[in-house]
Structure 1
């Protein structure tokens, strides 16, 4: 598509894919969406991005990143049938982390039918320079139907500038650009062809649009752990009190395959995938244990071990997934915590999964990382190790796939790898 052009979107739900080619020195990018009424959000809850991944209506959610070789994508799901009638446009934006979009090769946005995966629209951005945020496109209503427009308008003030321009309140200091810095000029409103006036009749006055619940100012900062920068101090990020949520979400890259019993031929398996998020803990007083769905060992938040598993999820969605909560008000009670994940059923290894881990303290920036591609027949993966050090807690990215020996459980395997020294018995859930 050319900049400014539009196309009909006949699907009731779509996936909006932001894509680019990654590599050394290439900034990371993040997709976001703003739900607008008369050109502005109704409240900060109308902003969907990595720190606020789902709209209250359920119509828009951030599904997260995945890497396929050098190709990187970040995806938004938009259920057009559930977008509230008051919403006129859903702006589809991108922000760069660690540099300008002029250093991001192959930047594009495309709209896919969420059901069939068919491509409905694609816009390639080829003229980026100093911009650190972009409005790449928008979904808008036209005569009762949805259309997509390629926009391609950039900001040199990053996600903060883009968000505030649409009415978002940002909980971070405003940065003033130098007088010589290029300034963004919002594009002129699009002039739509007039439509014939409808016949007039007496009707009750329309009900005012109900804005989503008011929220605290959004926080744009985040920390991404990588192989080259694998650890972070919670104290330095201000995350030393309150509840810290640990979320694991995943998607299946392809259908799992396994060996059937009929003449040894490969057959497809159609089982539900069930991953379990777990935590081994060691307290300062020497007590050890595990928090997991197996054996209904869900833990407790306000008494030892001060770790609680919220439930057992099988969808892997970013708005749900598997969640642990750690009570940082009792951080001095911890010696170490190992967050790990096991495959309970539905797959023989992590090889065909793409998973993201996000730790969100009540105070301080969220911490996230993706799992590396699995190349071994692993059914247990150590995700993150949290250690107590001089009154501080340090989060260390592990992303370590382990292969259990014959007849050895995933829990016993991760225990042995990290020297926990616990006794294990069979369990069920």
Structure 2
């Protein structure tokens, strides 16, 4: 499609991919969507992006990134049939992180039918220079049907400028209050007058507190910058939610552990998010679905595993919650993931890890491409260094020796020193 052109799209579930070619010096980019009425959002809830990944209607969901051979895509799942009738336009945008779009080669947006996996529309954006945000396209209603328009409008003020332009309230640093003018000179006393007795006035009805502004900040850990301090980010209290979601890059990989035949990984893929912990008093243990060791949030080990997910969806996935109000009880915590069944290794699996502190910016990173027959991957190590909680990206695929479990393999690699016995779900 050329800039400004439009085309009909099916009123169905569509996968919107913002893609580009990665390489040295190429900044990261993030896809987002805004649902508009009269050219503006109704509230901050009509903004879907990495910090607010699901719209309340369920019509739009931020799925996350994948890297396939140097081609990076960030995806949104848009179900036009579930878009509320009041919504007239759905803006599809991208923002750069660490540079401008002039440094991002082969930028494009592609709309695919999620069920049929066929291309409904594609726009290749070119000519970018200093822009740090782009409206690449939009869905809009026309005579009861939906169309897609290729837009290609750039912003030099990043995601914040784009969001505020459409009515989003953004969390910004506090500005210094303006100087207060001196009070006027006192007025001469007024002549005495008769005052009527006061009339009781009912108090005004209570007003709802203003909604919290949208936070755009995030931290992405890489090989070059693999760690961050939760304490310095203001996120070392409240609850820390660790989420793992994944996508399968190829259809056939691995073997079904029960059937002994080649199957698609997503047919019976079961990944388990786990955590090894060591408390300040020397106690050690593991939180995992295996053996129903789901942990506890309000008593030792102050870690809880939500459940067991087999879809990898960003809105659910595997979730682990850590009670950071007990940070002084922690010495170290290692989050890792194992393949319980459905595949032999992590090859062809694209996974993203997100750590969301209750107070502070989210921390995310993608797993490196797995090039070894590994059924277990160490994700992140959290250590308490004299009260400073530090998150270290590991993204380390491990290969167990014959007869050694994945859990024991992680233990050996990080020197936890625990005794292990066989377990099952």
For normalisation by structure 2, the TM-score amounts to: 0.89
2:78 equivalent to 1:83: no
3-state DSSP of counterpart to 1:332: helix
Contact 1:43 1:215 in 2 (8 A): no
Equivalent residue number for residue 223 of structure 2 = 227
Gaps of 5+ in 2: 176-208
User: 1: CA distance between counterparts of 2:73 and 2:159?
Assistant: 18
Residue 250 of structure 1 corresponds to 246
Q: Which residue of 1 aligns with 2:115?
A: 115
Q: Residues 121-160 of structure 1: matches in 2 within 5 Å?
A: 121-160=121-160
Q: How does 1:200-349 map to 2 (within 5 A)?
A: 215-258=211-254, 267-269=262-264, 271-349=267-345
Residues in 2 aligned to 1:214 and 1:248: alpha-carbon distance in whole angstroms: 32
What secondary structure sits across from 2:171 in the alignment?
coil
Instruction: Say yes or no: does 1:33 pair with 2:33.
Output: yes
Contact 1:45 1:215 in 2 (8 A): no
Structure 1 unaligned segments of length 5 or more: list them. 176-212
Name the CA shift for 1:259/1:47 in 2 (closer, same or farther; >3 Å): closer
Distance, in Å, in 2 between the alignment partners of 1:27 and 1:276 is 32
Question: Which has the larger displacement, 60-69 or 249-258?
Answer: 249-258
With over 3 angstroms needed to count, the CA separation of the structure-2 counterparts of 1:45 and 1:259, relative to structure 1, is: closer
Three-state SS of the structure 2 residue aligned to 1:102 is: helix
Shift of 1:424: 1.1
Asked if the contact 1:44–1:214 (Cα under 8 Å) also holds between the matched residues in 2, the reply is no
Superposed CA deviations along residues 262-320 of structure 1, whole A, max 9, x for unmatched, are xxx97435742110000000000000000111111111111111111111111100111
Cα distance in 2 between the residues matched to 1:158 and 1:105 = 18
- Cα distance, 1:256 vs structure 2: 3.0
**Closer/same/farther in 2, CA of residues 74 and 214 from structure 1, 3 Å limit:** farther
2:20 is aligned with 1:24: no
1:216, distance to aligned residue in structure 2 (A): 2.2
Partner of 2:169: 169
> 1:293-348, CA deviations, whole angstroms, 9 ceiling, x for partnerless residues?
11111111111111111111111001110000111111111000000000011111
Q: Deviations over 1:107-159 (max 9, x none)?
A: 11111111111111111111211111110000111111111000111111100
Q: CA deviation at 1:229?
A: 0.6
Measure, in 2, the Cα distance between the counterparts of 1:260 and 1:311.
22
Q: Which has the larger radius of gyration?
A: 2
**1:259 Cα deviation (Å)?**
6.5
Question: In structure 2, how many angstroms separate the alpha carbons of the residues matched to 1:111 and 1:140?
Answer: 14
* Distance of 2:318 and 2:262 partners within structure 1: 29
Q: Would you say the 8 A contact 2:294–2:306 is kept in 1?
A: yes
Q: Does 1:391 align with 2:387?
A: yes
Partner of 1:356: 352
What does residue 194 of structure 1 align with? none
Corresponding position of 1:63: 63
- Of 364, 367, 392, the residue aligned with 2:363 is 367
CA RMSD of aligned residues (A): 1.8
The match for 2:378 is 382
Q: Structure 1 length as normaliser, TM-score? A: 0.88
- Taking a change above 3 Å as real, the CA distance of residues 250 and 259 of structure 1, as seen in their structure-2 partners, is closer
Kept in 2, the 8 Å contact 1:384–1:396? The answer is yes
Query: Number of matched residues?
Result: 389
